[in-house]
Amino acid sequence: TACSTTTTTTCSTTRMRCLLLVALLLCITASLGQPNPAKVQEIREKLGIPADAKKVLIFGQTAHLDWDWLNVFTTNVNNTPTDVFPGGYWSTNIQPTDKILKQVHRLLKDNSGARYAIAEISFLKMFAQHFPEQFKELVQLPDRFRMVGGGITSPENLVVHGEAFFRNYLVGIDWMKEVGLSWSRKVWIPDDFGHDSQLPGTLEAMQADGVSFARIPGSCECGYCPFNSTTDNWHNVAHRSLVTKGTGGIDFTWKSSDGSSIFSYYMPDHYCPVSSLRGGVSDYSSLDDIGTCSRTGSSYATPTQRIHNYINSRSDLGSTDYIFAVAGCDFEVPLADILMDAIEHWNANSYTTTGVYLVSGSFDYYADLVRYSAPTLKNRTFAGTTPETSFRSNPVWMGYYASRPELKRLHFTTSRLLVATEIFSALSESIYDLLQISANTWDGLGVGQPKIDALWEDFVPSTHHDFVTGTANDYVTFGEQIPLLQKSFVDVNGVLSKVVDAVISANQDPSVSGKVELYAWNPLGFSRDGIFTVSGDTKDLEKVAGLKRVQKTHDSKFLAYVDAPSSGFRRHSSDSLKNSLPSGELKVTTIADGYVLENDYLRATISKSGNWALSELFDKKLGVSQLVSGNFLTFRYDRGNIYRFGYEEYCTFSDIPVTFVAGESIIVDQGPLSIVINTTIQVTASSPNINNNYTIVYELRLNEPMLRIKLEGKANSYTSVMTNFKFQKTIDSYDHGTPNHWTTSKPVPYGFVEDFKVIMEATHNFFVPYSSSAPLGAIYHGSVPAWGVLDDTLIGVVLRNSPESQCANKGAYGSDDFSHVIEYAVRVSSGITPSTTGEILQESLSYVTPMVVQATNKIGVHAEYSLASVVSPSEAIIITVKKGSLNDTDTFIRVYQPTNKPVQVHLRYLSNAYSKVSSVTLVSALEDVEVASDIVFKLEGNILDIAYTATRALTTVAISGVPVYPTTPISPVPEPQPQPQPAPQPQPQPAPQPQPQPAPQPQPQPAPQPQPTPGPEPTPTPTPTPTPTPTPTPTPTP
């Protein structure tokens, strides 16, 4: 009512107050739940639960299906090629997935009370190809054949690229829609080695309403953990907080810092306890057993005795009278009659005496029964300070953060390239329409969303928790995983080059010739400028005299200072490249045995006597040097394994006394844009034997507050190589990026080696150490996740090779005897603002995501083009812009804001020139359900303004259109206005209906920050076409 009678400002304020009030009410009711007796009754009837059954044990039959790990994918499907695991992996009860699913088909056809769930859709897709008739019959049993998980694979969630995590599920769910299957909106990640503290934000953005996991700090299958200690500590704090009677509970509401939340279920005795019905193993028989991870149940127990164990060990930990127990070991065939006979026998003989009724079900049924029964669930966060509020979801294992760096580099670089290619593909279609080029011409390029979707489908297996982590054996890593990623990198680069070339050709003014210009392409969702490598035909560039904004490098390449708009391109004529550079100093001074590199922000000193480490990083704005020394290498004898560092268990992790011999150095580039110095060091040791050469490259660019570093070398067997940055002050807290957001934490002693008690974090994009709330600097990186703090020193594990464990086997062994190129940057502290402003993220993304700068003699018509941009607030950025995978008249824009509170977002989008916008809504990140919102939009010409309240870190905007083919020409894109007008106040759309099975929505705030486009990591082995680069440009105002 107020909005209909008051000014725009008052209306906006009133709307915000209303939203905050609603958010508060949601927060209050979240822990209480929303009872839905009708839904409870419906589920009970589906499961065949009698009306008088008060307590119910639900058995979940599934199998955990690794995309690859000990065997390659096709071996896991149908044993082609034949299993190579020493001694043989397959057995009577462990089989490839085609055989498993044939048994599932038989089970469900023969027994109407049986149910089965599958999480890893890639295997179901293969089964549909190999056995189409049996697959069709499974599809016709939707209440008994359940999709719990939904991704192509069971993805890692700590070191995976944030957008790739979404696409793993999007690819799987799109396929399910095509074949008539429905996702349960539950996520099943039983085998992930710890969990992102901000995972609830990612899952809520997907509109998932339940998640289950088994591996958390202290979990009984984590390997060595001091779980039998009665003293809580960082190794066991998560497990003990959940399985302690009274303060614990394995059903809880997990919340992230942006206010997102999700119903969570912890499997307290791992993901295959019910497999013990086959006999021969002992069970956890009580809550005390679970708490201390001690199996006291007899290995000769009868099925009835085992069922008593399942009930006794978990009934005090549930929030309702529903109990869940899973049978889901790796590649395990269904229990079938073993389970169904045990259920029938129990219900006939023990139900009346125990009051517990048994059914075959699945996790989604259990989660919904709990949620709709609306118990009071504990709200838990990573930052919780009591046993009732804390959920320390990581670390479980940390060594894998640094294992197989080539896998991580290829995964992250290709993820960024895919996002860039997708954005530029949508842009190219839009500009083809603007230029009135035949739709058939654009379609003929083969660079539309179907092609992009195919590239994502080929790539997303790398999100698997034994893929990007580097925890598969050598046969799989080098025979399948690295080749798959190399091929993806090449294929994506090929499509990206076609998109860029197509737009340049379409935008060409044929009346102009004999000139050269640069197109600067920016895949990031904010405008920016910077110095980037020029690709394309640069021979004409060299002929132009007086190019002040271009520098030729020692390897005959060119750097250019350019800018570009958000998600768009800007042309830079040869005349504009003659303009003076922005003011700023850039110089290098040779000193007695080293160099001083200097620009307006910093002064960095390196010397031969210091083994080419940093002896000074002086912050010129603050007038202080906060580093004592930086980028000095240390070496550890690491007898852990590819999963864990030696110090995480009682394995060896000792300092290696090494001898450094600093080699020669050379200034390879010295120009107005960049100074590059190459240095070398030789490192030797006798025990273990080390004799390695390392190249360390330092680069300082004009007007950058960071020093770029490139390290090339290898880790010997049983060695971890670390870079160290020692500060003047003790580090007492830090912020770092996560796959889709950011988090803050404090250093905590961890581990069993007295001189190295460090929690290594799985970081993304940036790491900012603080002392007494003041930033000391920052580290930026594109795919070097493992960073931690020891007193006053920031440590990064840059190379690692621990081929087999001295004391703890985790299933796979793996080596890495190859040389790698590792890139990162160290930033001075002046200008670092809180992570809530988004500035540190935007700067780090600019570092890891170079623009594509293309030289061409095809002089363009339109000077610039911005497909989508954020008008306000400055904290928000666009993550990606894509066409719909199932409906290409729809466009989806993913937006991130880091504030951890609700903000008003104003977007501007250049809609398809031949489309009429029919609706604008908020939807899930998987593009399948609408999300209630206050969104409004206004279309003038082909410029669409959108305004809404972003209550979480991540939101996805859906723009639906219908094709319109005008008879009059479309006017060119208007010149952008430097300071766009405030958000429009158009006619509001009807609020979309919330998702069918909503999870409780607590206080609004932002969710995970996704990571856009290509990174600066070294080019993967294939060295294909160049990577795109962006530049800033304002967007047109209506």
Q: Which residues contact 771 (CB under 8 A, 6 or more apart)?
A: 727, 729, 730, 731, 732
Burial zone of 1012 (CB within 10 Å; 0-12 exposed, 13-18 middle, 19+ buried): buried
Amino acid (one-letter) located at 218 = G
- What is the per-residue burial (b if ≥16 Cβ within 10 Å, else e) of 472-494? bbbbbbbbbbbebbbebbbbbbe
DSSP secondary structure letters along 638-703: E-S-SSS-GGGTTS-EEE---EEEEEEEEEEEESSSEEEEEEEEEEEETTTTEEEEEEEEEEEETT
Judge whether 644 and 630 are in contact, CB under 8 Å.
no
Rounded Cα–Cα distance for residues 562 and 548 (Å): 12
Mean pLDDT of the chain: 89
Contact 579, 565 (CB under 8 A): no
Residue that has been written with the tokens 């580090």 in this structure: 731
945: Cβ contacts below 8 Å, ≥ 6 apart: 871, 906, 907, 908, 937, 938, 939, 983, 984, 986, 1038
> What's residue 1037's pLDDT?
30
Percent of all residues in the chain with a pLDDT value above 70, rounded to a whole number: 88
pTM of the model: 0.91
Is the per-residue pLDDT at 2 higher than 60? no
Task: Give the model confidence (pLDDT) of 790-837 as tens digits.
Answer: 999 999 999 999 998 777 778 899 999 999 999 999 999 999 999 999
Query: How many residues are recorded in the chain?
Result: 1038
Q: How far is CA 848 from the centre of its chain?
A: 15
pLDDT per residue as tens digits for the range 485-531: 999 999 999 999 999 999 999 999 988 888 899 999 999 999 999 99
Which amino acid appears at position 308 of this protein?
Answer: H
- The 3-state DSSP class for residue 520 equals strand
Residues 194 and 394 sit within 8 Å (Cβ to Cβ): yes
Of residues 414 and 961, more confidence is placed in 414
Longest dimension (CA), the chain: 94
Question: Which candidate, 167, 152, 74, places its Cα nearest to that of 120?
Answer: 152
pLDDT tens sequence across 429-472: 888 888 888 777 878 889 999 999 999 999 999 999 999 999 99
Name 358's bridge partners: 57
Place of tokens 């059914």: 359
Q: What is the pLDDT of residues 976-1033, one digit of tens each?
A: 443 444 445 444 333 333 333 333 333 333 333 333 333 343 333 333 333 333 333 3
Q: SS3 of 436, please?
A: coil
- Do the Cβ atoms of 603 and 597 come closer than 8 Å? yes
- What pLDDT sits at residue 1004? 34
- CB < 8 Å & 24+ apart, contacts of 177-180: 177/886, 177/928, 179/128, 179/135, 179/139, 180/139
Confidence of residue 12 (pLDDT cuts 50, 70, 90): very low
- Model confidence at 7, pLDDT cuts 50, 70, 90, reads very low
Q: Which strands make up the sheet holding 943-950, listed edge to edge?
A: 868-872, 903-910, 943-950, 936-940
% of the chain residues with pLDDT over 90 = 78
Q: What is the pLDDT of residue 86?
A: 86
Phi, psi of 140 (to 5 degrees): -80, 5
Mode of pairing for the β-strands spanning 251-255 and 210-213 = unpaired
Q: Do 762 and 785 contact (CB within 8 A), yes or no?
A: yes
Q: Quick one: which H or E segment has residue 984?
A: none
Residue 657 has which token pair? Answer: 């006394």
Residues 6+ apart with CB under 8 A from 1026: 493, 497, 533, 535, 536, 852
For 70-99, write each residue's pLDDT tens digit.
Answer: 999 999 999 999 999 888 999 999 999 999
Residue with tokens 């993220």: 841
